[in-house]
Amino acid sequence: MSHIGSYDQRVKNFDWSIAEKELGYHDGDPINIGWYCSDRICEMGKSDKLALIWEGHSGDVKKYTYNDLRVNSNTIGAFLKELGIKNDDRVCLFMDKIPELYIGLLGILKIGAIAQPLFSAFGDESLHVRMENAETKAIITQRKHVAKVRKIRDTMPFLEHIIIVDYDGKHPLREKETAFRMDEAEKVEKLDIHPTKAESPSLLHYTSGTTGKPKGVKHVHYSLISQYLTTKWVLDLHEDDIYWCTADPGWVTGTSYGIIGPFSLGITQCVLDKGFGADNWYQFIDKYKVSIWYSAPTAIRSLMKAGEEVVKKHDLSSLRHLASVGEPLNAEAVIWSEKVFGKPFYDTYWQTETGSMMICNYPGMKVKPGSMGKPFPGITAAVVDPDSYEVIDEPGKPGLIGFKPGWPAMFRTYWGNEETYRNKFKNGWYIPGDRSSIDNEGYYWFIGRDDDVINTAGHLVSPFEVESALLEHEAVAESAVVAKPDDVNMEVVKAFVTLNPGYEANDDLELKIMNFIRKKLSPLAMPQEIEYVKSLPKTRSGKIMRRLLHAKEWGEEIGDTSTLEDDE
């Protein structure tokens, strides 16, 4: 049983004011996430407590106390202010998982600007569409990524500053570029924290849909209320825990639960800025005595693949609670984890748009392997009919997940795309676009997404974005992109292409096209397989029938194709 009481008790007595009270927040007060995650923890007497333990890929280690977090985020905030960054300006973070990313985000929030974290492996085109949509005023990056920014800089008149955090003076800075070294900068003890209010914008996270460009999911400072409480109750963080969230802050898990949640609770967390490896990961847990671990199904499946022998080489007895997010967590993974770690992974379900966990397994609650669990207290959830959007009240019957709007971390709009935002609401429900059923004990069982978006290793990839990028390759005439099943990543990107005259369908060209996409978009969006076809299946009016190709990949019955051939 957890220290917070049973699930049913918590649901019965629930009110978001529980979090407000614990955070000392009253309706109408200023609320600034940057302040809550650093200054407030210091005011509570925890200045010397370790906030962040960071280990880089070459084994170098850096440690920051809560006072370091406070002062360094002040320093970054003051530096940005000096450059002319004002509240509501968008500042992009484009870095590996280095301390400047974690602390920089707090600095941006402290001056009331909007943080736009983007995955550092994004190629120039992925970066460009997202910065163009946000009209980003400044980007904070590293030397190793600056070439991508330089490539697109001249097409972005709104971009005023390119800040390089590891500038070494070896080459002259170019236009708009400026150097800032956090650890060496003169420290700013006191910064005027911008008095952001509950509804002031905080973060802009980009997410991909089936069609159109990536959408900027706008969050506000009040999201802290949900993020704080879900971190405390679902991840079960206690004062002396060592927490490890494996997600990159380029994605929402890495900000909601890799920055805001743990820091607002004054917890010590560690970060490993290194690629995946079972041995590395276990060594990291052993070395820092990680007690709470938040990861993802693809990583867990990779660990399963690495086997049990490597687990035995390390002392993992510090682990107390494990949780997972991002893709369906298969029952085998839960059972395996129970066997090798002595505890199951607790699945959690949510989205960039929801900002915080929505359906979860809680410490103390019976885990049904393969189920996502139950709605977080205060969240009204249901499974609704895909046509009428009426609640389906029959255990086991599939439908669309629906949430009653109004929880604190809910997104407030898609940046510059109010219409798409409004379309997400039907019959009073927010529809995240996932299918599920509910069993007779109220547990949710994920079925699948309700669109063509590909979930590869927990990251959403838009088939449309990859298809468009493929068409920019000189050899490609037409393209269709679908998910292909994969043992570890659950899904990977597969492309079907027809070639322009004069191009030969061979392995060399396949490799060239793959690399073209990797550089332009990202390694995740890169097709793992390209199938050359003579023509693509189309509807009568010429729309490519992705569904047909998808069904073939998954060995599913295609059924009556006459309906597919008509435009819907």
CA angle 399, 433, 251 (to 5 degrees): 140
Q: What are phi and psi of 269, to 5 degrees?
A: -125, 155
Query: Could you tell me which residues come within 8 angstroms of residue 227 by beta carbon, excluding any fewer than 6 positions away?
Result: 256, 257, 260, 261, 264, 355, 356, 409
Q: What are phi and psi of 206, to 5 degrees?
A: -95, 135
Residue 438 and residue 434: Cα distance in Å, rounded? 13
**What is the smallest separation between the CB atom of 208 and ligand WTA, expressed in angstroms?**
9
Query: Could you tell me which residues come within 8 angstroms of residue 167 by beta carbon, excluding any fewer than 6 positions away?
Result: 143, 173, 179, 180, 181
Q: What are the residues binding ligand WTA (CB under 6 A)?
A: 207, 251-253, 325-329, 347-352, 372, 432, 434, 446, 449, 455, 460
Tokens 């870095």 sit at which residue? 95
Which of 94, 119 has the CB closer to ligand WTA?
Answer: 119
Which of 300, 480 has the CB closer to ligand WTA?
Answer: 300
**What is the smallest separation between the CB atom of 264 and ligand WTA, expressed in angstroms?**
18
Which of 483, 497 has the CB closer to ligand WTA?
Answer: 483
Which of 421, 503 has the CB closer to ligand WTA?
Answer: 421
Beta bridge partners of 374: 360
**What is the smallest separation between the CB atom of 514 and ligand WTA, expressed in angstroms?**
23
**What is the smallest separation between the CB atom of 461 and ligand WTA, expressed in angstroms?**
10
Tokens of 352: 């960039």
Which of 89, 434 has the CB closer to ligand WTA?
Answer: 434
Which of 75, 207 has the CB closer to ligand WTA?
Answer: 207
Burial class (CB in 10 A: 0-12, 13-18, 19+), 169: exposed
Tokens 């109750």 sit at which residue? 233
The DSSP output letter for 44 is I
Which of 65, 207 has the CB closer to ligand WTA?
Answer: 207
> Are the CB atoms for 379 and 405 separated by under 8 Å?
no
**What is the smallest separation between the CB atom of 351 and ligand WTA, expressed in angstroms?**
4
Beta bridge partners of 64: 52
Residue 431 and residue 420: Cα distance in Å, rounded? 12
Nearest Cα to Cα of residue 85 among 124, 140, 132, 150: 140
Which of 51, 400 has the CB closer to ligand WTA?
Answer: 400
Nearest Cα to Cα of residue 269 among 241, 289, 243: 243
Burial class (CB in 10 A: 0-12, 13-18, 19+), 556: exposed
Which of 141, 295 has the CB closer to ligand WTA?
Answer: 295
**What is the smallest separation between the CB atom of 227 and ligand WTA, expressed in angstroms?**
12
**What is the smallest separation between the CB atom of 220 and ligand WTA, expressed in angstroms?**
17
| Interstrand relation of 292-295 and 321-325 (parallel, antiparallel or unpaired) | parallel
Which of 19, 460 has the CB closer to ligand WTA?
Answer: 460
Which of 272, 329 has the CB closer to ligand WTA?
Answer: 329
**What is the smallest separation between the CB atom of 455 and ligand WTA, expressed in angstroms?**
6
Residue 269 and residue 52: Cα distance in Å, rounded? 5
The DSSP output letter for 258 is I
**What is the smallest separation between the CB atom of 313 and ligand WTA, expressed in angstroms?**
30
Which of 100, 327 has the CB closer to ligand WTA?
Answer: 327
The DSSP output letter for 417 is -
Query: How many other CB atoms sit within 10 Å of the CB of residue 466?
Result: 25
Tokens of 117: 């974290």
**What is the smallest separation between the CB atom of 533 and ligand WTA, expressed in angstroms?**
28
Burial class (CB in 10 A: 0-12, 13-18, 19+), 171: exposed
Burial class (CB in 10 A: 0-12, 13-18, 19+), 177: middle
Q: Which residue is nearest to ligand WTA (CB)?
A: 352
**What is the smallest separation between the CB atom of 327 and ligand WTA, expressed in angstroms?**
5
**What is the smallest separation between the CB atom of 303 and ligand WTA, expressed in angstroms?**
17
Tokens 């590891």 sit at which residue? 166
